Structures are given as C-alpha cells and as structure tokens.
Structure 1
Amino acid sequence: MATFRQWGWWAAIAAAGAATQAAAQAPGSLERGRYLMQTVVACGNCHFQRGPQGQPLPEKGLSGGMLFDEPPFKAYASNITPDPETGIGKWTDAQLAKAIREGIRPDGRVIGPPMPIEFYRHLADDDLAALIAYLRAQPPVKNAVPASTYTMPLPPNYGPPVKSVTAPPRSDKVKYGRYLADIAHCMECHTPRNDKGMLETARRGAGGQVFKGPWGASVSRNLTPHPSGLKGWSDAEIAKAIRTGMDRQGKPYRPPMGFGFYEGISEPDMAALVAYLRSLKPLPFAGAQK
C-alpha cells in the first residue's frame, strides 16, 4: 500500500513553502502572510479541497469543503478565497480578523470546531494583518460549501474581544517557539481530550488523539521530553521528523500531520519550535498505542 508521501500529494505544497524561506518578511506584508500560510499556520491543511482519496488539491486554492465527520459535529472547512458569493469576498478586513482570531462571523454566528480559535487568539496583530493580505491576494474560487452541523452547544464566544497582541521577541527562543506552536495549533492535535472533547491542558503535548480518514487511523505522538516522547531525540531528528513526516527509523507519519507545509519552515523558526518542545513538562504518552 502506498504511503501518504509516496502518493506525491504534498510535492507542490512543499516546493511553494520552501521557496518562501528566502522571501522578505516585513511585518504585516503579503510576503510574511505567504510564508505563514504556506508553512507554520498551514491553513491549506484543512481549507484545500480534497480529491476522492482525501488528497489535497492546491490548484483549487483555499476553497474549502473538507469534511470533519467526528461526532458531535459534522463540519466542513469554509471557502476562504475572495469569491464574493461562496467565499470571503464581501468581508471587510476587520470582519476577517474577528473571524480568524475570535471565531465570530460577520453575521454574529460562532465558528465551531475544528477551527482552533483558542490558539488563533494568540496571533499577533502584524501576523494577522499579513494573513489577511495573503487571503486578499488569492484568486477567487467559486465553491459552495455545505453548512456545518453540531449536536453539541457552541459557546457564545471564545472569550472577550482581542484588543491587541504582540509576538514575543525572536531572541527568546522558548517564548517565540510557543508563539509559533500556538499559531500552528500543534497542541490542538498533540494534547489528549476528555470524554467531552475538551483539551486536557494539564497534559499538553502528550499526544494520543486518534484521527480517522482515507489513510486509516493515525495517533498523535507525544511531543514532550519523556521517554515515550522526544527524550533522546536530537534537535536535528526532531526538525527532520517535522519537515519530512518520517520518524527516526524512516517510518512515515500519516495525516493530518501537515509536513508538506512544515518542510518550508525557516531554520530560525524551527530552532525556536524545537526549543519550546524541549521546555514542555515530560509526560507519559496519553494514547493506547505508540
């Protein structure tokens, strides 16, 4: 059976992401937005259309439609291209910012899971502006996406309005690494959930979530410096696993790990991410298998 990488689904994405490393990244610029979107934030991991085997179709842009059928919800990724009828073409920058960082649509409706609003609330103002600039620059793609349905109550909001956020200084590797991990929503997958579907924040990074799809079932790994996690791994081994989707023995990881995007993460950003993972509390693997 072919592996995810052998199918070649991520070749175009990885090439585009790698090309952004050398680009100028002025705060709030289109270039910064392109880098974030094609690497760390990786919105296309959910918002790309998918083919019959679940393969991403980057040529159709961020036009949405991917189904997340995980009771208590049946959610579809939205069309976030500038199409005026089926996408975000009629939204203002302020409305886009509120939707991304606070999970509130222009009509006041709350955006439900799996949109990781709790993590996007940490997006710095400059990076939020850069992401919006990138979305504005994309070609509009008409794709009407079904409405998501939830059998669980959605919160009225995800917290008070976010007034302003500044990213930590890059000189503080651990804090900046946490910032990158937050906007990449790494812990949305790599933290276990309780029987109500809520993240168990006391076990941050311990893995164990199960993700089912055309690839079968994948289990998120333990990212903490525990023997069942990353203890004993070198920085280079961690970076290689994130970028290539292969463990130390050359065994391929399965989706939804977005290594096709992460391949383009810059060396300084990867060093910060690794430093942050090293700082996590060592915790035993939270899943039933490793």
Structure 2
Amino acid sequence: MKKFIKIAGVGLTILALVIAGVLTWVNLSSLPTYPVQAIDIQVPKDSLSIAKGRKIAETVCAYCHRSENGVLDGRMFTKPDSDFGEIWAGNLTHHANGLNRYSDGELAYLLRTGIKRDGKFLGPFMLFPTMSDKDLGSLIAYLRSDAPSLQASEAVHTTNYSLLAKALMKFGALKPMTYEGKAVEAPSNTNKVAYGRYLATSNYMCYECHSGSFETNDVLVPENSVRYFGGGSPVDDMDFNIITSPNLTPHPEHGIGQWTYEQFKMAVTSGIRPDGRALSTAMPRFALLDDAELDAIWAYLKTVPPLGPVTAKAEN
C-alpha cells in the first residue's frame, strides 16, 4: 500500500509539473504566425463608393475603434478581467502606427482572414469573409480618405490576451479564416430578402450579437449559428455593463413579431424602442442606413424562423 501511495505521489507530481510546463509555455511563448498575402482588390476613388465605405465604417468599425476624442484610433473593448483579457481595437488613422503600415492588398487580406501584416492572428474580430469585393473595396477607399475621424493619431495600444485566449490560439481553437481567393458578389438589391440577408450577415454583422453566443456563431454560414437572430449573447455596453442581446426573430411575444417597420426603423437608427425607452449603448445607432437597406433587412428578418425566449432577460 505504501509503495502504491509513493508511486501515485510521484505520478501526480510529474503530472503537475507537466501541466505547469504547458501553462508556462502557453503564457510565455509567442503566438502562432501565419502566411501573409496581399490580395488583389479594386479600391475605387469615386465619391459614391467612398460614401458607401463610410457607412460601413461608421456603422460597424467605429463602435470599437472610435476613442473619446472622436478619432478612429482605438479603444479598449474588453476589460482585463474578461475571459479573453484586455483587448484594444487598433488605430485606423493615417499614421505610421495606424493603417499607413498596410497596403490595400494587405488590409483586404486582414479583413478577409484576420491575419495581420506581421503574420499574427488578430483574433475573432472584424472578419468580413462574405462581404462583397465591391463593398470591401469601398470600405478601404473610405479608410484611405481624408475624413476627420481618420486624421493621424499617434495612439498605440497593447492588447494583453488572457491565458485562455492564448491557449485557444496556440491549440488552434481560435484561428484565421481561410482565404479562398474567389470573387465575392452581393445579391441584387432588387431581391429584397436576399439583399437584406446580405446586409444583416455580411456587412453590418447584426447576427453576431443577436444570436446565442459569439463562441457558436458561424461566420461563413450564419444560419448555422446557435439561436440565429434569437438573441442571448452577453454583450458589453460602452461602460462594460453586460446585457443579453435581444431576440430579433418574428416571434410575436419574445421577438419583434408585433413591431411595425416604422418601429423597427426607429430602434435601429435612433435607439428608441416602441415603448419609448432608449436601447442600451451596446447597440450602435445605425443612423446612416437608408430606407432601402432598412426595408431589406426588415423583409429578411420576417423570414427568419421565430424563436422563443432567451435564458436571461434581454433588452428588446
């Protein structure tokens, strides 16, 4: 018996040393790197395309990248004690610390895959693998423009990933998207439902917050996401208060099935609920969307299968 206890003790000690060694390796070794590519992307110069790019940037990118001074030079969007650590949005301004480091092709590759120009993975943020080539080019065109919010800022931010985030990256649970090199086109806006799906899943990424969990979202086939548009994901507001994302399916009681189009439009563009209350700041105000886009998204949401209540109270 004593011999068994001694052997077991030695085994447990070895196991503890192995675990400690793995944790030390995860915490202290460099994050994995991936091949970098500058892809062929047409970046337009006309004012209409730049305006389209501004709409995408101000609607999607600015929420995380706009600092208190109104410039897109980044802000902290997860606190140090979060599951993934202290994560900062990058500097998008015309500075050597910002997007001036990237060629158009490198920036397009980053937005498609999440791979930065140094080969490191940005993380599961700001990925647009299904945005059309045309809209991606328009977004880059705006980011190269002389907009006031893009004027050079020297801001430099350091992201400090948690041990969990580092482990997920190093063991391949979090990894870049694969670049297929295929042309990506948007559906015609004459097909209202298809166009609305494209806007809600590829450009404005509504489903990402309004499905069940960021961990179970499917970027390439959003419909495979758990509780697709049914809400339930914990989302930080601008002050890091956590709310549960609301249900946007046409469920008559737990979703937006009894809303009118005008009520939907008011909520999306102004952040005002049908009952007059303001939505949480976790929901950006999509004030730049035009009626055609809003109508298309509304038409699409009415086709999404209705889902019942989420497990926690949501702010609809």
Shift of 1:286: 2.0
Q: Report what 1:224 is aligned to.
A: 249
Q: Does 2:77 match 1:67?
A: yes
Equivalent AA in structure 1 for residue 134 of structure 2: D
| Larger RCO (CA under 8 A, 6+ residues apart) | 1
Q: Report what 1:188 is aligned to.
A: 208
Shift of 1:163: 2.7
Alignment CA distance shift 1:157-1:125 (3 Å): same
2:116 to 63, 84, 105: 105
Q: Report what 2:232 is aligned to.
A: 208
Partner Cα separation in structure 2 for residue 159 and residue 203 of structure 1: 25
Q: Give structure 1 stretches of 5+ with no counterpart.
A: 1-23, 51-56
Shift of 1:25: 6.3
**Alignment check: 8 A CA contact 1:91 1:106 kept:** yes
Q: Does 2:142 match 1:134?
A: yes
**Alignment check: 8 A CA contact 1:47 1:65 kept:** yes
Q: Deviations over 1:210-248 (max 9, x none)?
A: 234527332211000012001111111111111111111
Q: Report what 2:284 is aligned to.
A: 258
Alignment CA distance shift 1:207-1:288 (3 Å): same
2:93 to 75, 78, 81: 81
- Identify the structure with the greater helix proportion: 2
Q: Does 2:198 match 1:176?
A: no
Partner Cα separation in structure 1 for residue 47 and residue 199 of structure 2: 15
Q: Deviations over 1:153-210 (max 9, x none)?
A: 133422343432111100111111111112111111111128xx33371410111222
Shift of 1:74: 2.6
Equivalent AA in structure 2 for residue 234 of structure 1: T
Q: Report what 2:106 is aligned to.
A: 95
Partner Cα separation in structure 1 for residue 181 and residue 90 of structure 2: 22
Q: Report what 2:41 is aligned to.
A: none
SS at match of 1:141: coil
SS at match of 1:111: coil
Q: Report what 2:216 is aligned to.
A: 198
Alignment CA distance shift 1:65-1:221 (3 Å): same
Q: Structure 1 residue runs of 4+, over 3 Å off?
A: none
Partner Cα separation in structure 2 for residue 287 and residue 103 of structure 1: 31
Partner Cα separation in structure 2 for residue 270 and residue 202 of structure 1: 24
**Alignment check: 8 A CA contact 1:221 1:285 kept:** no
State how many pairs are aligned. Answer: 247
Partner Cα separation in structure 2 for residue 281 and residue 116 of structure 1: 27
Q: Report what 1:33 is aligned to.
A: 53
**Alignment check: 8 A CA contact 2:123 2:176 kept:** no
Partner Cα separation in structure 1 for residue 85 and residue 305 of structure 2: 32
Q: Give structure 2 stretches of 5+ with no counterpart.
A: 1-45, 218-223
Equivalent AA in structure 2 for residue 128 of structure 1: L
Equivalent AA in structure 2 for residue 281 of structure 1: P
Partner Cα separation in structure 1 for residue 57 and residue 179 of structure 2: 26
SS at match of 1:279: coil
Partner Cα separation in structure 1 for residue 295 and residue 52 of structure 2: 18
Alignment CA distance shift 1:277-1:162 (3 Å): farther
Q: Report what 1:46 is aligned to.
A: 64
Q: Which has the larger radius of gyration?
A: 2
**Alignment check: 8 A CA contact 2:197 2:297 kept:** yes
TM-score (norm 2): 0.73
**Alignment check: 8 A CA contact 1:81 1:139 kept:** yes
SS at match of 2:78: strand
Q: Report what 1:17 is aligned to.
A: none
Equivalent AA in structure 2 for residue 108 of structure 1: G
